[in-house]
Amino acid sequence: MSGDSSQTAPGEPLLRVEGLRTWFPIKSGVFQRTVGHVRAVDGVDITVHAGETVALVGESGCGKTTAGRSLLRLIEPREGVVFFEGRDLLKLPKKELRDARRTAQMVFQDPMSSLNPRLRVRDIIAEGMDSFGIGRDKAERTERVAELLERVQLKADHMSRYPHEFSGGQRQRIGIARALSVEPRLLVLDEAVSALDVSIQAQVLNLLSELQRDLALAYLFITHDLSVVRYLAKRVCVMYLGQVVEEASAEELFRDPQHPYTRGLLSAIPSIDPDRRGLDVSFEGDVPSSANPPSGCRFHTRCPQVMDRCRVEEPQLIQLSGRQSRCFLSEEGSCGVSLG
């Protein structure tokens, strides 16, 4: 029912996020006056086409989770546009938002805290179908729960059990089955495999690629783990302190990273090749607070290639062929077109 009834115009991406800003007020004093803002997400653009995987990558505090939640309005953003299936989600009244959001579902990192421990698996998965009126009656919905469980490689008779009876990997499969129950076209996966052991993580990643192939799902894959990204994503947005600093196809990003932050992130991943040892720790220090981001380029306090200009002037995303980088160094040798 979802696939054909798409309201997305031909050529138009399934999801187009532009200039998304989510700020949290900092309150202080007896009267709890707002004295500043944490600019968790500060002007983020993301495009996801139907059936493709886009990864949103960054370290803790970079705003990737807030961005994922804001675009579905689980957190209300301050400004921006979020075109999903042809409608701007940020302009919809609450009532219509509920229906618009059916086709964009979320899968969270910790399946234990996102599954209601008092409900049986059948009711957890059928809850969304109940509220959206999918399926004629209870029997039909139960039948569909059985199908979904098999789809995520669990057994139909697991539906009478409770979440605590499952392992972490199985619970994540239940979370995925629940998201699939309402026939979404986009899944926002927030660190969905990060808590799993590597052998189980491989199983869930394989399941996700299978589901994508069979159901033409689009994924916005939010993670801190670049090795997972390389395997799964088609395009990658790298975030730092609330902004996208580099956007490229996964292949190009790993072969030839443009932004110094991306290069540092990639060289910090420990290899399992016994001949390659010794990590590059080219940038030191911690991520600054997004309540008080550095002037100029937000990365300049940690950047090994910092120039005087970076301390005062804020770089825009520079358009390179088929990719973007928010760094003055990318201006040289590029077409030099700056996007505002």
Partner 1 sequence: MSEFLLEVQDLVTSFPGSGSERARVVDGVSFNIRPGEVMALVGESGCGKSVSALSLLRLVPKPGAIESGSVLLDGKDILSLSVPDMRKVRGHEMSMIFQEPMTSLNPVVRVGDQVVEAIRLHEDVSVKAARSRTLELFKQVRIPDPEVRLDAYPHHLSGGLKQRIMIAMALATRPKLIIADEPTTALDVTIQAQILSLLRQLQQELDTAVLLITHDLGVVNELADRISVMYAGRIVEQGDRREVLANPGHPYTRGLLRSMPGLGRPGEPLAEISGMVPAPADWPRGCRFCTRCSEVLDICESEVPARRRLSLTHHVACHAVEATE
**Site residues (CB under 8 A) for partner 1?**
59-60, 167, 169, 197-203, 205-206, 209, 224-228, 230-232, 250-251, 264-265, 267-274, 276-281, 283-287
CB of 140 to partner 1, least distance (A): 32
Q: In sequence order, what E strands does 153-272 have?
A: 186-190, 218-223, 235-240, 243-249
In 3D, which of 272, 211, 273, 262 has the Cα closest to residue 239? 262
For partner 1, which is the closer residue by CB, 86 or 322? Answer: 322
> Exposure of 340 by Cβ count < 10 A (0-12 exposed, 13-18 middle, 19+ buried)?
exposed
CB of 159 to partner 1, least distance (A): 20
Tokens encoding 8: 């997305």
Per-residue b/e over 241-264, b at no fewer than 16 CB within 10 Å? bbbbbbbbebebbbeebbbbbbbb
For partner 1, which is the closer residue by CB, 285 or 333? Answer: 285
CB of 169 to partner 1, least distance (A): 6
Tokens encoding 310: 């970076």
Tokens encoding 94: 């609450």
Q: Are strands 318-320 and 87-88 parallel, antiparallel or unpaired?
A: unpaired
In Å, what is the CA distance from 339 to each residue of 36, 250, 319?
28, 22, 7
For partner 1, which is the closer residue by CB, 62 or 104? Answer: 62
Report whether 327 contacts 245 (CB < 8 A): yes
Q: How far apart are the first and last CA of the chain?
A: 39
CB of 43 to partner 1, least distance (A): 23
For partner 1, which is the closer residue by CB, 1 or 272? Answer: 272
CB of 161 to partner 1, least distance (A): 15
For partner 1, which is the closer residue by CB, 92 or 287? Answer: 287
For partner 1, which is the closer residue by CB, 218 or 228? Answer: 228
CB of 4 to partner 1, least distance (A): 27
